[in-house]
Chain A
């Protein structure tokens, strides 16, 4: 039997991998620390941030301010840039020594490289790209009541179950699955960026941070890849996936592309969001490919998705239909986008958008 399946009780604490790039924490770190805090409280254990890098001690306080009790800090010049080999070795060594029961990783392109490598080495289960996490069964049932069509009250659940319940969408959100890892520890999950809510920053908690430094047993011979260069995209790539508010434009802006995009940008700015586009907009070169929402672009689920002049082809809907609130503006009242919109306005986007921007600004001003 594997060492991590014999005595599950020997595994305690919730760990969050805190990704930094060039000495800067990723926004997902704060979301995961905030979520990890809730899980640690449900389990009655400590929450630890796991931070790897070269000279990154200065980041510990910030992580603690969002809820971490402890930071497990591993520093080495070999950890300056991410390599699978170096990070997986240091993390697996730390986990085998300190034995967390839950280990969360942001589902970034780095997290999704690192998570499976570690899970395979640690001989444990990993659930990919989770959007919801629970420990307590009653809380999980509350979640199912609002998020599923299951007849919860006529189903039997073990109310004492303490496994981490990791829920994730499959098939573009047509199906949801809750995964458990009952026989091995730690239970591991990568968590989708932009989904978990960030907690309020707590100065006192930040100042009270405890730092633990396990021995880093890492040599250059452990690393079999060489990072030759790290290149930032010249233009800032729009972060559609993490955005709470997205204003997307479609073919409807064709009569004045420049103005259409400007109006969308103004509305996005009023909301504190970003601009996206349908496939037609990207194919015509009106916006760069990182703006594309849809089957071949990004799948998004912001709090508000505003579709301006987008007809709502299946391939576009596949990328945005799980948005919490959809607002559509289109001159064609039978456009398919209205079938999934919470609020539809049949009208000219060039006229409606500026009025909507003003009305939203006015409401926001009122709230302050």
Chain B
């Protein structure tokens, strides 16, 4: 049994977000982190490893620096890393990306008792699309928004969150699960783990590795092949300067309510 975890290296949007004059994101000026929801997916996989002794493989598609992130995940306890990287893959939208990652997972091979895990969504794109799209490409059943995962034999029971509660869903392996932060608290790397991580393998799957995979349609990968294109990107205009109201009494409040009513805000 193995758990394959899909992870993404993302700019850290919790700090200041830098935007270039042309409206694109200034990635160079921002720190990168492992996408937070993906860390919960890694932790869920490592928990299963603690319980069953299964193998954990972390897979990421991205430019070569993502190798450093994979090494950190190996230091947390994952067994192998795979970096899917190639210029031909650049600029892929979620459809194209999921196709490429699905081909990478297919290359690793999916067996009867395997599980694929993803974070719910990445903080840079916030699409939550790649997980379900990988599941479709691999013909795996999917359960998204997992807040609790229990595995017994080939059956996985997942608490799947909804806006107003949750569903309990049962699914057989192999399957794909997307994880949310409520699922667990990711562990830290250990000193020993960091040392061990340099003995663990990280494979690189490039265009040549994957181009003949049956899941790859060469006309729908990369920037040119992606079904969606950016028509325009732009920054919202800065908000006008607000005003401090005089006083803090009844007249102030009545004046404000009047303004809001006059502007049809209330």
Contact yes or no, A184 B232, CB < 8 A: no
- Among B77-85, B109-117, B155-163, B199-207, the one that faces the other chain is B155-163
CB distance from A324 to the nearest CB of B (A): 7
- Among B40-48, B57-65, B125-133, B184-192, the one that faces the other chain is B125-133
CB distance from A116 to the nearest CB of B (A): 4
How long is the Cα–Cα vector from A364 to B265 in the complex, in angstroms? Answer: 11
Task: Say yes or no for A103: interface residue by CB 8 A criterion.
Answer: no
Report B-chain residues with C-beta under 8 Å of the C-beta of A123: 95, 220, 227
Interface size on A, residues (CB 8 A): 98
How long is the Cα–Cα vector from A110 to B167 in the complex, in angstroms? Answer: 11
Report B-chain residues with C-beta under 8 Å of the C-beta of A318: 14
Contact yes or no, A170 B126, CB < 8 A: yes
CB distance from A31 to the nearest CB of B (A): 15
Task: Say yes or no for A230: interface residue by CB 8 A criterion.
Answer: yes
Contact yes or no, B145 A179, CB < 8 A: no
Task: Say yes or no for B94: interface residue by CB 8 A criterion.
Answer: yes
Which A residues between 134 and 167 are near B, CB-CB below 8 angstroms? 144, 146-150, 163, 165
Which B residues between 203 and 261 are near A, CB-CB below 8 angstroms? 220, 226-237, 239-240, 242-245, 247-250, 252-254, 256-261
How long is the Cα–Cα vector from A333 to B232 in the complex, in angstroms? Answer: 40
Task: Say yes or no for A255: interface residue by CB 8 A criterion.
Answer: no
Contact yes or no, B256 A343, CB < 8 A: yes
Contact yes or no, A119 B95, CB < 8 A: yes
Task: Say yes or no for B142: interface residue by CB 8 A criterion.
Answer: yes
Report A-chain residues with C-beta under 8 Å of the C-beta of B169: 83, 225-228
Contact yes or no, A172 B132, CB < 8 A: no
CB distance from B115 to the nearest CB of A (A): 14
How long is the Cα–Cα vector from A359 to B249 in the complex, in angstroms? Answer: 11
Which A residues between 176 and 197 are near B, CB-CB below 8 angstroms? 176-184
CB distance from A252 to the nearest CB of B (A): 13
How long is the Cα–Cα vector from A338 to B244 in the complex, in angstroms? Answer: 8
Which A residues between 246 and 266 are near B, CB-CB below 8 angstroms? none
Task: Say yes or no for B72: interface residue by CB 8 A criterion.
Answer: no
How long is the Cα–Cα vector from A271 to B266 in the complex, in angstroms? Answer: 7
Contact yes or no, B242 A239, CB < 8 A: no
Neighbour of A343 across the interface among B23, B132, B135, B243, CB < 8 A: B243
CB distance from A268 to the nearest CB of B (A): 12
How long is the Cα–Cα vector from A345 to B244 in the complex, in angstroms? Answer: 6
* Chain A proximity mask over B161-178: 1 for CB below 8 Å, otherwise 0: 111111111111001000
Task: Say yes or no for A237: interface residue by CB 8 A criterion.
Answer: yes
Contact yes or no, B266 A84, CB < 8 A: no
Task: Say yes or no for B98: interface residue by CB 8 A criterion.
Answer: yes
Contact yes or no, A121 B165, CB < 8 A: no
* Chain B proximity mask over A344-367: 1 for CB below 8 Å, otherwise 0: 111110011001101110111011
Task: Say yes or no for A108: interface residue by CB 8 A criterion.
Answer: yes
How long is the Cα–Cα vector from A177 to B232 in the complex, in angstroms? Answer: 6
Q: Which residue of B lies closest to A304 (CB)?
A: B265
CB distance from A225 to the nearest CB of B (A): 5
Show the binding face of B for A, using Cβ within 8 Å: 11, 13-14, 17, 19, 23-25, 93-95, 98, 124-133, 135-137, 141-145, 157, 161-172, 175, 220, 226-237, 239-240, 242-245, 247-250, 252-254, 256-261, 265-266
Show the binding face of A for B, using Cβ within 8 Å: 21, 81-85, 88, 108-110, 112-113, 115-117, 119-121, 123-129, 144, 146-150, 163, 165, 170-184, 224-233, 236-237, 239, 271, 295, 303-304, 315, 318, 321-322, 324-327, 329, 333, 338-348, 351-352, 355-356, 358-360, 362-364, 366-367
Give me 12 other A-B pairs in contact (C-beta within 8 A), A148-B236, A232-B165 excluded.
Answer: A21-B162, A108-B163, A109-B163, A127-B228, A148-B235, A181-B227, A225-B169, A226-B171, A228-B167, A340-B242, A345-B256, A355-B254
